[in-house]
Amino acid sequence: MSTPLDPDVGSRVSGYADSTYGRFILSARSNHFVSDARVLQGGPGEATSAGEFLLAGLVSCGLGLVHANARANGEPRPDVTLTAEFLRDPQDSTRFASLTLVFAFRGIDRVAAQRHVEHFTSRCPIYNTLRRGGPIEVRIETP
């Protein structure tokens, strides 16, 4: 049995397939999510897909770091939305051809917005792992 992780240091998500082919129940601490495989993979394609969860993690990290940067600088919380999207590589479906993040700030100038985004790009482990690649360990456990 695994020991709990300190959320400031690491995180763990587990999951299992339910009775619908291509549908998965995921758990992070006491939070539970449904994820579906894409229709092209034979899944239902109704619930959030794995790629969308990845984008959601990027958006959450981005917004959190922008707000944290403003707070650390004694500034009001910025009015900002962040949109993330990816396109699969048509020649190699195992990678993204592009990953785009769009920060839309309202009520602050471009210099302040740039400072907030630089704070994000210098500190978000999800962004930086995707940007430059990172070590991934794949383990297989069997009974």
Total domain count for the chain?
2
| 64-to-16, 42, 100, 133 alpha-carbon distances in Å | 29, 35, 18, 22
Report pTM.
0.86
The pLDDT of 110-123, averaged and rounded, is 94
Same domain, yes or no, for 111 and 90? Answer: yes
Lowest mean pLDDT among 21-25, 36-40, 69-73, 139-143: 139-143
Q: Same structural domain for residues 60 and 124?
A: yes
- Among candidate residues 126, 75, 70, 77, the one with its CA nearest the CA of residue 101: 126
pLDDT over 90, % of the chain: 75
The model's confidence at residue 1, banded by pLDDT at 50, 70 and 90, is very low
What is the amino acid identity at position 79?
D
Domain for residue 111, yes or no?
yes
Per the domain annotation, does 96 fall within a domain? yes
**Short-list 41, 57, 64, CA closest to 120:** 64
Same domain, 38 and 78: no
Q: Average of pLDDT values for 2-20?
A: 84
pLDDT tens digit sequence for 21-54: 999 999 999 999 999 999 999 999 999 999 999 9
